[in-house]
Amino acid sequence: MGSLDTAARPTVAQGFRLQWEPAQEAHVLLYPEGMVKLNQSAAAILTRCNGRRTVADIVTDLESTYGLAGLTQDVCAFIALAVERTWLELLS
């Protein structure tokens, strides 16, 4: 997990779709015949994974948006998990 390259550019994997659902008041990740309802933190990270920003960019953006510091570890852990679950692909 510590091996996640912060220069990698994560993007939502092919076959998955991320969108805001008013009826659920949440972001959801849709995939074949299934859905994951995301909490705010997960949505904040995943909505920034557009294939252009690096992991480091995403951390910086989140830290400034939420006025927090030291998010690298949490964000990397979540992105690594999302890659493992095939929700995200890493572009290099």
Partner 1 sequence: MSDPMPTPASPRSNGSGRSGPPLWLLLELTYRCPLHCVFCYNPTDFRSVGPELETAEWLRVLEEARELGSVQLGLSGGEPLVREDLETIVAAAHRLGFYTNLITSGVGLTETRLQGLRQGGLDHIQLSFQDSTRVMNDFLSSTRTFELKSRAAALIKKHHYPMVLNVVLHRLNIDHVEEILDMAERMGADYVELANTQYYGWAWRNRDELLPTRAQLQRAEDVTARFRERVGPRMRVFFVVPDYFETRPKPCMSGLGRVFLGIAPDGIALPCQAARMLPGLAFPNVREASLGSIWYDSPAFNRYRGEDWMKEPCRSCPERSRDFGGCRCQAYLLTGDAANADPVCDLSPHHHLVTEAVDRAERRGTARASEHPLVFRDHR
Given the rule CB under 8 A, which of 2-10, 36-44, 47-55 is the region that contacts partner 1? 36-44
**Cα dihedral 41, 46, 48, 53 sign:** positive
Residue 54 CB-half CA count within 13 A: 10
Determine if 1 is a binding residue for partner 1 (CB under 8 A).
Answer: no
**Residues of span 46-85 touching partner 1 by CB under 8 A:** 62, 66, 68, 71, 74-75, 77-78, 81
Given the rule CB under 8 A, which of 3-11, 19-27, 50-58 is the region that contacts partner 1? 19-27
45 to 33, 52, 63: CA distances (angstroms): 23, 14, 11
Count of residues interacting with partner 1 (CB under 8 A): 33
Beta bridge pairs of residue 90: 10
Say if strands 88-91 and 9-12 run parallel, antiparallel, or are unpaired. Answer: antiparallel
Which parts of this chain interact with partner 1 (CB under 8 A)? 14-15, 17, 19, 21-24, 28-39, 41-42, 44-45, 62, 66, 68, 71, 74-75, 77-78, 81
